[in-house]
Amino acid sequence: MPTHEGLALYAAATEAGALGLPLLEVGTYCGRSAVLLADAARAAGVSALTVDHHRGSEEQQPGWEYHDPSVVDPEVGLMDTLPTFRRTLRRAGLEEHIVALVGRSPQIAAVWHGPLGLVFVDGGHTDEHATADYEGWAPHIAEGGLLVIHDVFPDPADGGQAPYRIYRRALASGAFTEVAATDSLRVLRRTGPGI
């Protein structure tokens, strides 16, 4: 995530923290955006939560553009970003301000029952994964809360289309209104019921 998009995410998290509800991200990877959410949550006195299975998204697997062999667990031969994420939080001094929920987003969303002040969707970029993240977590966003979606590219030449499709779906639902856009980062406010 470029710095200016990270600053926009931090501003959204700071605003949402004023609702007094947890801030949640889907898609942790090594923790860069989690640090931003955890710091905003710390300042607001709320919890930050991050959801990831830590095995990497499709584009991070061997042979793909964003693969990083340094995060492959040599014992099992699979990606494991959890140790790197934990080190990132420790270096930032934010371990006490975030809860790592390790597992698949739809499974965790299915057992989550509380309202959220912010949901940041930055998980898998296939239609299946992006749709599951949206359908699983958007219903938990409180009135006035924020839905933040990363990697929204209207032009297919610029990037994958799954985040763009859930962004368009959120707007078409009438449940969300766009309040900010910073390059590929979109911030929408819940202004009505539904998803």
Residues acting as catalytic residues? 125
Q: Pick the closest to residue 145 from 27, 21, 5 (CA basis).
A: 21
Q: Report the C-alpha gap between 80 and 72 in whole angstroms.
A: 6
Helix (H) or strand (E) holding 146: strand 141-149
φ, ψ (nearest 5 deg) of residue 144: 85, -10
Q: Pick the closest to residue 6 from 120, 126, 171, 177 (CA basis).
A: 120
The whole-angstrom distance between residue 110's C-alpha and the CA centroid of its chain comes to 17
Q: Which residues pair with 147 in a beta bridge?
A: 119, 188
